[in-house]
Amino acid sequence: MEYRFGVPDDLAMWREVAGDVGAVFRVPLMKDSPEFLEYARRKLVQRDSFLAYDPLHQRPVGFVGFSKNFNRITWLGVVSAYRMQGVGSKLLTLALAELNPELAITVKTFPADYPPGEAARRLYFKHGFLQLSEEILIEEGLEVAELTKLPSVILGGIDHEGRLPSLC
């Protein structure tokens, strides 16, 4: 597997990945969405994305987008045939290395009660993200949960879902 920064010529490959993951994201036509395409173009131009590419089969297998300005992960997808092989973990590691570890890093992902999103939630928890609030947000008509990777703080008492215990 090859990993590299995304470049503007990679837009068609990002669309290919989006076509595979759109149903899991609850946006089946994501790859054709003008808003998504504008987002992907911007991330590619700004060098705020990484691509995972399978040279043997000559195909893209995943992308991650991030924001240095807001210190957050903004998009992560891996095509179904390559899931559970470490591709998402490697992409997330690369993106996190571009962000400021001295500040909180956030990601908006699937709520706990959405089974197709469980693998993504486990990936974020594995990389130190926590769900600090049970609040479910509505963004673009979809329920999302915000996870946070705290800056260099040692925490105890985190449960298997990556949540802090209630202080009340």
Along the 168 residues of the chain, how does pLDDT read in single tens digits?
999 999 999 999 999 999 999 999 999 999 999 999 999 999 999 999 999 999 999 999 999 999 999 999 999 999 999 999 999 999 999 999 999 999 999 999 999 999 999 999 999 999 999 999 999 999 888 999 999 999 975 444 455 555 555 544
The domain spans of the chain are 2-149
CB 147 within 8 A of CB 137: no
Predicted model pTM: 0.89
Q: Quick count: other Cβ atoms within 10 Å of Cβ 87?
A: 20
Domain 2-149 has CATH 3.40.630.30: yes
In SS3 terms, 130-155 reads as: EECCCCCEEECCEEEEEEEECCCCCC
